[in-house]
Amino acid sequence: MLFLLLSSCSVFNRKRSVCLNVVGLPSEITIEKEKIQNRSQNGWLEGLVLNREDSLPLENASIKIIQEEALLYQQATDSLGRFQLEIPAGTYQITVYRDFFRIVKDSLLVLAGQKILISAYLGNEDLDIFYETRSAGLLKKQIKLQNQKRKTHYFSN
């Protein structure tokens, strides 16, 4: 769900120009832990990165595992938005991001023999769009009407 905000255009002719700010979506991450039958001193991270707007997988999203401000592991998601890492037991911070999407971070406590399932939903960043039109006033009215319909649909009740 995207909302378009009207803003002023100082660079363009106000009678023929409209600036739109497309408000992006926030990112979120969920973490589930499960114990597996293994005597390893390592834990496993297994995850999926999706576009929050349409739930499609995000290829080449960057996964960073950080401990005490040092980058320890970095991996990109595959074409289906998946990633897997085996890491030693410990406390880490995970960062997930991709260009034009909002970054999401969380802390992880990885135990030996534990699998951690991560789902990251990346929301789009805000975006400014400039339009040249013959009737900026008419376009503004149409956008306001569209936003009112979206607010009624998504925020009623």
Q: What pLDDT digit, counting tens, does each position of 110-128 carry?
A: 998 889 999 999 988 776 6
Domain of 148, in residue numbers = 3-22+126-155
- What CATH number does residue 90 fall under? 2.60.40.10
Residue in the block written with tokens 């890492």: 85
Mean pLDDT of 146-155: 65
Tell whether 39 and 88 lie within a shared domain: yes
For residue 130, the model assigns a pLDDT of: 62
CB-based contact 20:132 (threshold 8 Å): no
Phi then psi dihedrals of residue 143, to 5 deg: -65, -45
Same domain? 111 vs 150: no
> Does the structure show a pLDDT above 80 at 103?
yes
Look at 62 and 22; give whichever has higher pLDDT. 62
| Side-chain-side CA neighbours of residue 54 (13 Å) | 3
pLDDT value, residue 2: 46
Predicted model pTM: 0.68
Q: Are residues 97 and 113 in the same domain?
A: yes
Tell me: do 15 and 79 sit in the same domain.
no
Quick one: pLDDT band at residue 145, thresholds 50, 70, 90? confident
Nearest to 49 by CA among 70, 91, 78, 72: 78
Token look-up 């980058």 returns: 71
Does 79 share its domain with 63?
A: yes
Please write the tens of the pLDDT for every residue from 27-77.
Answer: 787 878 776 666 678 999 999 999 988 889 999 999 999 999 999 999 999
pLDDT value for 93? 97
- How many structural domains does the chain have? 2
Residues 85 and 39 in one domain: yes
Q: For residue 95, what is the DSSP state?
A: E
Strand 17-23 relative to strand 70-76, pairing:
unpaired
Banded model confidence at residue 6, pLDDT cuts 50, 70, 90: very low
Same domain, 53 and 104: yes
- One domain, residues 60 and 17: no
